[in-house]
Amino acid sequence: MRLRLTVFVATSKRFYEEAMQIVSRLKDCGVRVHHPYFHLDPNAVDGDPELKSQVTLQHFPEIDESDIVYALLPRGYIGCSVTIELAYAYAKGKRIVVSEAPSEFAVRSLVSEICRPEQFLARFESK
């Protein structure tokens, strides 16, 4: 039996700095977190099709282990990789929470809830 909640944080490489702060705060609250591979150079990943595929596929088992998928989508921006992750999560029956409505209208049907980062984090920090 798993005792801790697990959250998968998804976002574009454009927003890694803000995502790192969210991940850190969630971990401080005792939440188990899966997140983008901050240690990898995003330009190197994008420039290597094999590595990009490998990274994408490595996230699927992490999504499987997660209770919630939280997507950081400033100004609604959602890239191809995050779209794939959310579609996978939806197909697996995961709760999908996003920071803002996705600019891609087709993705909006996958979303369980829209919740700004501070509101999302408050759910865990008050416990």
56's tokens? 């994408």
Given a cut of 70, whether residue 127 has pLDDT beyond it is no
Q: CA 39 to CA 84: how far, in whole Å?
A: 21
Rounded average pLDDT over 72-88: 96
86's tokens? 């959310």
45-72 pLDDT, tens per residue? Answer: 888 889 888 989 999 999 999 999 999 9
> pTM of the full predicted structure?
0.93
Task: Specify the DSSP class assigned to residue 14.
Answer: G
> How high is the mean pLDDT of the chain?
93
Instruction: Kindly list the structural domains of the chain, giving each domain's residue range(s) and its CATH number in brackets, ordered by start.
Output: 6-125 (3.40.50.450)
Q: CA 43 to CA 32: how far, in whole Å?
A: 27
- Kindly indicate the confidence band of residue 125, based on its pLDDT and cuts at 50, 70 and 90: confident
Integer-rounded Cα Rg, in Å, for the chain is 14
